[in-house]
Amino acid sequence: MSETRRPMDDGLFMPAEWEPHERCWMQWPSRGELWGERLPQAYAAYAQVARTIAGFEPVSMICRPEDEAQARLACGRDVEIVPLPIDDSWARDSGPIFVVDGKGGVAGTHWRFNAWGNAYQNYDHDAAVGGLVLERLGMRVYKGGMVLEGGSICADGYGTLLTTEECLLNDNRNPELTRQQIEENLALNLGVSRIVWLDRGLEDDETSGHVDMIACFAGEGRVLLHMPEDRNDPNYARMQDNRARIEAVRDARGKKLEVIEIPQPRRNLLRPDGRRLCTSYVNAYIANGGVVMPTYDDPNDGKAAEIMAEAFPGRQVMQVPALEIAQGGGSIHCITQQQPKGMALK
């Protein structure tokens, strides 16, 4: 691992998610205390996401060695199965975050992982898996130097990054760092020069407000924003505030950002413990030539797909049921991590 140099020192930056991919990385559901008796349904949901993405680009599914046969059977022959020690299945957050040099070279950043502010115990395997993936790829590794999950950030590939204060400034992540130090870490490791700070994420989001449940870039200068239709919904005021923040800033190129609203699912569902089930159409995976987005058996499923198709013209929009994934605390973007196309930098 590079102990002193940072990606920005070597001209590397985090590309946009719509740039060409080498493959998609996922992790097989594993944590019994999280999934409980719904684990078989989680297996089926993850397998369907993997098979759908495999129609656009290669997919590598990491699983515990003892789950290899089961994962292979469920995912089918078009999905590569990679046996490695893991604790659970949120590849966006525990996997590596890739950076590129703009000339066809790819490297990886490996950040500290503490299971969303110690929301779960026994996360040592997930804290290490990003490094194991990069070792398997024979790829240069940079240490991020702080706790960071991939779901807490979104980059446009042109120097602008979206995140939330609720997550990155939370005492359960990096209490020893100031806001300025966190910004410097993001700039040096991800090659960004403008950070757009949103306020809060969704109500009852156990990730402490991951941005990938509420907003993402949809091309240069455009932000897709989660928005409840009901003004009395607790998320409505949060998202209106976030919209105002986006409209008040300029991106790294000095341009104003256009906001495209995508509706919140109408059904207000609860988890077994009484917390609100977090559902979002923003939390989709942009694949080579396609967008794989969640459906929730909701009246807004069709409307959201139309907006997504307009936001990503020329891509095939595929909808995959995601209520079972939501029961675990996330959606399709949370369980996937794209590896940019290119040769591994050594």
Residue 77 in any domain: the answer is yes
Nearest-angstrom CA–CA distance, 113 and 30:
17
What pLDDT, on the 0 to 100 scale, is given for residue 272? 83
Does residue 191 form part of some domain?
yes
- Asked whether residue 44 carries a pLDDT value surpassing 90, the answer given is yes
Q: Which pLDDT belongs to residue 338?
A: 98
**Where does the pLDDT of residue 2 fall: very low under 50, low under 70, confident under 90, or very high at 90 and above?**
very low
CA separation (Å) from 51 to 73, 140, 236, 250?
12, 29, 34, 38
Above 80 in pLDDT, residue 1?
no
Q: Which domain holds residue 85?
A: 7-344
Residue whose tokens read 């987005």? 293
Q: Is residue 92 part of a domain?
A: yes
Res 3 pLDDT > 80: no
1 lies in a domain? Answer: no
Is the Cα torsion angle 292, 260, 20, 289 positive or negative in sign?
A: positive
CATH number at 49 reads 3.75.10.10
Residue 94 in any domain: the answer is yes
Whether 24 sits among the annotated catalytic residues: the reply is no
Active-site residue (options: 24, 216, 278, 334): 334
What local confidence, expressed as pLDDT, does residue 271 receive?
Answer: 87
Query: Is residue 39 assigned to a domain?
Result: yes
- Tell me, yes or no, whether 247 lies in a domain: yes
Specify the number of domains making up the chain.
Answer: 1
> Across the chain, what does the average pLDDT equal?
97
Poorest-confidence range of 46-50, 97-101, 273-277? 273-277
3-state SS assignment for residue 181:
helix
CB contact set of 36 (below 8 Å; sequence gap of 6+): none
Does residue 259 belong to any structural domain of this protein?
yes
pTM of structure: 0.97
The stretch 72-76 carries a mean pLDDT of 98
